[in-house]
Amino acid sequence: MHELAATQGLLQIALEAAARAGATRVLGIDVVIGELTSMVDDSVQFYFDALSGDTAAAGAHLHFRREPAVAVCGACGHQAPVRPPLSPSCSACGAHALTVSGGQAFYVDSIEVDHESPGSDAGTEGE
Amino acid sequence: MKVPVVTQVLKANDQVALENRAAFDAAGVYVVNIMASPGAGKTSLILQTTARLPAGVRPAVIEGDIASTIDSDQIAARGIPVVQINTGGNCHLDAPMIRTALPHLDLATVELLFIENVGNLICPANYRLGADLGLVVASVPEGHDKPYKYPGIFATADIVLLNKYDLAGAFEFDDAAFDRGVRLVNGKAPIVRVSCKTGEGLERWLELLLARVPRPALAGR
């Protein structure tokens, strides 16, 4: 459910960035989502398709990159990417001495855009 | 053509949260964002805490609920200023909702504002409101595994309260496992065991809270 409000923000960011770049269409959006944010890719894509319908980003593909949360063991130093539900013990030595960091990212990294010359048929005046 | 963007998806919310924070700071109001599951005891905690505040720390409450005024009616019955936000199905409060509520509060007569978020351990973690303190309330019947399943919200906590601690024996609550779970993602937040029913632990919570409320607010103005 929380993906709806977040996806509205995502769409707005992509459209604004496209307008700044003078682009007419957004073909793709690279989104980074931390493993601890509870944001679900499919849900974001679902809301995006519904929201972007009559915008320059209609039909854009969302490419999700998951930012891992990393557990570091205070006993043996072992590091491993983790996701909820978290384990209380180190996967290498079993000690209960883990510290988890990262996994909180949620940002639009880049967009893939297309420039069409206004007033011309697409493709005929491409550079 | 690829265009770099690197913009936080919740930037618009975060911007409004900063504006809320500036409004609170200007009025000398300290703000606590209370996040918890449904039924963890958020409203009970507000009632128990406000009943114990020293003179000169005047409370107010913003109540977030999917629907209903059940919680805000209880608070209003104590004579505490309260604004109800019904999110109409939305699973969290966001900064613009708080901004909308502000004109309904006389901040000049308030030192301590509690925002009771919608009962949910997922979404409220992502939406800043402009609060000074993020308070996560867990409760014994929910089980000691909650920090492992919902690490995101425990990572954001400035203080963690474990409510209904009078029931710990009956629920065979594993204290060490709970604390370890919180410490996985949060090395700093004090963990305080309380019972809003028996009152145990509330003094310690009040002590931690009031130590954080800045002096100008405590001076009563």
Quote helix, strand, coil % in chain A, to nearest 5: 25, 30, 45
Interval A2-29 mean pLDDT: 95
B129-183 per-position pLDDT tens digit: 999 999 999 999 999 999 999 999 999 999 999 999 999 999 999 999 999 999 9
- Residue pair B43/B71 in contact by the 8 Å Cβ criterion: yes
Contact criterion met (CB < 8 Å) for A108 and B148: no
Contact criterion met (CB < 8 Å) for A111 and B8: no
Contact criterion met (CB < 8 Å) for B126 and A17: no
Give residue limits of the domains in chain B: 11-212
A100-126 per-position pLDDT tens digit: 999 999 999 999 999 875 544 444 444
DSSP state of B106: -
Distance from CA of A97 to the nearest CA of B (A): 8
Contact criterion met (CB < 8 Å) for A31 and B184: no
- Residue pair A6/A37 in contact by the 8 Å Cβ criterion: no
For helices A2-20 and B11-27, give the axis angle rounded to 10 degrees: 110
Best of A20, A35, A44, A104 to disrupt the B interface (most B CBs within 10 Å) is A104
Say yes or no: A69 contacts chain B, CB-CB below 8 A. yes
CATH 3.30.2320.50 applies to domain A2-68+103-114: yes
Say yes or no: A10 contacts chain B, CB-CB below 8 A. yes
B19-60 per-position pLDDT tens digit: 999 999 999 999 999 999 999 999 999 999 999 999 999 999
A57-112 per-position pLDDT tens digit: 999 999 999 999 999 999 999 999 999 999 999 999 999 999 999 999 999 999 99
Using only C-alpha atoms, chain A has a radius of gyration, in whole angstroms, of 20
Model confidence band, residue B215 (pLDDT cutoffs 50, 70, 90): low
Interval B70-99 mean pLDDT: 93
Top CATH class, B11-212 = alpha beta
Chain B residues within an 8 Å CB radius of A101: 185
Contact criterion met (CB < 8 Å) for A108 and B9: yes
> For residue B219, with 0-12 CB atoms within 10 Å meaning exposed, 13-18 middle and 19 or more buried, which class applies?
exposed
> For residue A13, with 0-12 CB atoms within 10 Å meaning exposed, 13-18 middle and 19 or more buried, which class applies?
buried
Comparing CB atoms, the residue among A9, A101, A113 nearest residue B3 is: A113
Its ipTM equals 0.86
Q: Per this entry, what is the length of chain A?
A: 127
Contact criterion met (CB < 8 Å) for B184 and A98: yes
